[in-house]
Every structure is written in structure tokens, then in C-alpha cells.
Amino acid sequence: MLLWLSASSLLGWLWLTCCHGFFWRTDQRLPPRRPPSAWPDVAIVVPARDEAEVLPVSLPSLLAQRYPGRARVILVDDHSTDGTGELAERLGAVGGLPLTVTAPPPLPPGWTGKLWALRHGVELAGQAEYLLLTDADIAHGPGSLAELVSAADSNGLDLVSQMARLRVTTAWERLIVPAFVYFFAQLYPFRRSNRPGARTAAAAGGCSLVRREALARAGGVAGIRGAVIDDVSLARAVKSSGGRIWLGLADQVESVRPYPRLSQLWQMVSRSAYAQLRHSPVLLLGTVLGLTLVYLVPPVAAVAGVVAGRPAVLLAGGVAWALMAGTFLPMVRYYRQPAGAALLLPFTALLYLLMTVDSAVQHWRGRGSAWKGRTYPRTS
């Protein structure tokens, strides 16, 4: 039985490595670009709820953007309790791009807090040709906005999104964060998402530049108002309405939010994992079995092959584990971690499996997705 399982896992890894959109490559960066002949107006919309801890690092990076055209920052203080709005006003007084700090009306039923805040900010943006939707914990290099606009203008793109480089300082961050991006890319291969005719569509909510007209054509923010995984929902809406989208890894965009404890990382993943599976018990079962076969069987087979003296089991499990580590290595290097960390992916996958099951359990208990002091109850 173990031989058959290890052989099946090996076949799975051969297919993933060669036939799944080369999801493991990290070369999807901003496409070739040139400055526009006339720089369009841009509004940077930042939804923020209880972000006083990270705002002193992230907001100044937006205000300091070196953008040749007209740009402004709209920070939507989503009823924070830690003085986020007042802090933003003080940071904006230092100078840089014009800053508007505003608050949305009370959250209505059927909306997630972030999307309700985004809708309010988009309405205030007026007729700006582009909207940069970026999270309050994301810091941008000084040329980030100009590069995003140049990429969109040069390539006729309606949505340009970059997966921000997340923080990897603590031991738990180094173990879990690179795998988080790796699993996301495996679920939504960037190359396929960027292909106009492909069904795959994805974006990264921390940094998404979208044409205002394309957003309106896709139904606006209201069209995805209840989405927990709002970035992917936005990409699907834009692409299905005829827009061209692009997603890749960032060089000038970084998250400054710390996740020093496992419990914080656990919540980050589990709050949306079951929503990603469309709250389907069948998909949950398939995911658990798939993660077990693909990520857990190879190291078990390799060790069992050595202990039991079964060369065939050792070979199948060892080669599958090597392919797993080899495909993970580019992401490990992107996060500037030692190459040996790629061998720990099975253990990290086990944690993600448990996080996914926990996400389903919370949903079945009626707690839905919880974030920033809000709980969105189950809807199915």
C-alpha cells in the first residue's frame, strides 16, 4: 500500500512540476513597460481598521510616492478604536501627496468591512482614471505607483496586482509565510491567471491597481460586497467582464505587519481557508486527502523505505520529496531563507491542513470568518 501511495505521490509531483502552469517559478514580475505619454490621475484608496501599529511605516511610503502625474491618498478609517484616523491626519500633515482621511457609514448587512470601506473610498476618488487599492500594512517603494501605472498603460492591463513580500523575521514567519505564497501560487498559477483566455483569475489584495472604468464594468465594489477572499473575487469580476489582468511578485511592495506568534498566522490562514473551498464538505475532504497524499506521504515513504529496507518505496518517496523541495526552493530564495528550509515543507503543509480543518469547524459552529473584531456569520 505504501508503495502505491508513494508512486501516486511521485506521479502527482511530476505533473505539478511540469504541467501546472510552472506555478513554482518566481519570475512573474512587472512586465516590460515605458512611461505613459500623459500620466493619468490616480487615487490611492487605503481601508484601515485599528492599524495604528503599522501606519507610521506604511502611510508615509504612500505619501512619498514619486509620481509624475496627479495622485492623492484616501484613507478610510473603518471605525477604528485605536486612533487610526487621528494618527493618519498627523502623518499627512508632514507633507507629500494630498491625504484625505474619512470614515464610512455604519456597516450594512451583506458587506464585509473592508469592501464597505473600499466602496466609500472609491466613491470619493471621483473621476481618477486609476485606483490603487492597497492595505494599511503595505509599504511601497518610492517608485511603486509609477511602475504600476506604466505597466498597466504599456500593456493594456485593467488590473495590475503585486503579491507583497510578507515579513519573515520570527521563526514561525520564516516557516509559514513563504509556504503561504507558494500554496497560493499553486492554487492560482500566476502564468495562467495572466493569460487572457484562461479561466484562472487571481489578484493580491494588498496591492491592486485597477482602471476605474474596468471596475465599474465589473459591477464595482458592490459586485463582490460579501466576498471574504475579495482579491480573487475582484480579479474574477474584472476578467469575466472582458478586462485584462496581471499578477506577480513584488520588488518594491512589502507588508510590515508582524506575525510573531503561531496563533496570529493560524488566524490569518484559517479565517478564509474554508471560504476558499466554497464551504463545501466534499472539497474539504478532497483537500485533506490531497494534501496528505502530495505533501505528507513522500517523507513518510522515504523514512519507511529506509527503516523497512524497501528500496522502491524509498526511491518513490525520496524523489517525490526532492521534487517538492525543488519546486519550493525558488520561493525560499525569494524570501532570502536558507535552501535547507525547503525540506521542511511537509511539516508546514501539515499545519496548513490543520488550519483548513479548523476553518471548517469554525464555520460549522456558526462563527464564519472573524477578523479585526468582526465576525461574518455563515451564509451557506
What's the pLDDT band for 369 if we cut at 50, 70, 90? Answer: low
Among 238, 260, 282, give the residue marking a domain's end: 260
Q: Could you tell me the CATH number of the domain that includes residue 160? A: 3.90.550.10
Spatial neighbors of 334 by CB under 8 A, at least 6 apart, are: 26, 165, 178, 249
Beta-bridged to residue 259, according to DSSP, are: none
- Residue 132: phi and psi, rounded to 5, are -100, 110
What grid cell was written down for 204? 493580491
Percent of the chain with pLDDT over 90: 91
**Quick one: 348 and 272 in the same domain?**
yes
Q: Where does residue 248 fall: left (phi above 0), alpha (psi -120 to 50 degrees), or beta otherwise?
A: beta
**Quick one: 234 and 100 in the same domain?**
yes
Among 260, 291, 318, give the residue marking a domain's end: 260
Spatial neighbors of 282 by CB under 8 A, at least 6 apart, are: none
Residue type, 286: G
d(CA 79, CA 220): 22
Spatial neighbors of 84 by CB under 8 A, at least 6 apart, are: 48, 49, 50, 51, 52, 55, 77, 136
**Quick one: 306 and 337 in the same domain?**
yes
What's the pLDDT band for 379 if we cut at 50, 70, 90? Answer: very low
**Quick one: 293 and 177 in the same domain?**
no
Give 100-136 pLDDT, tens digit per residue: 999 999 999 999 999 999 999 999 999 999 999 999 9
**Quick one: 312 and 205 in the same domain?**
no
**Quick one: 87 and 127 in the same domain?**
yes
Instruction: Characterize the bridge pairing of strands 138-140 and 130-134.
Output: unpaired
**Quick one: 11 and 79 in the same domain?**
no
CA-derived radius of gyration, the chain: 22
Give 345-363 pLDDT, tens digit per residue: 999 999 999 999 999 998 8
Residue 359 lies in a domain: yes
Residue of 89, 74, 9 lying closest to 44 (CA atoms): 74
The pTM of this model reads: 0.94
d(CA 347, CA 201): 29
Residue type, 260: P
| Helix 311-334 × helix 297-308 angle, to 10° | 140
Residue type, 362: Q
| Residue 380: pLDDT over 60 | no
**Quick one: 198 and 317 in the same domain?**
no
pLDDT given for residue 278 in this prediction: 86
List the domain range (segments joined by +) for residue 180: 42-260
What grid cell was written down for 42? 490616480
| Residue 376: pLDDT over 70 | no
| Residue 272: pLDDT over 90 | no
Residue 338 lies in a domain: yes
**Quick one: 248 and 160 in the same domain?**
yes
**Quick one: 232 and 272 in the same domain?**
no
Mean of pLDDT over the chain: 95
* Contact yes or no for 182/163 (Cβ under 8 A): no
**Lowest-pLDDT range of 72-76, 110-114, 158-162:** 110-114
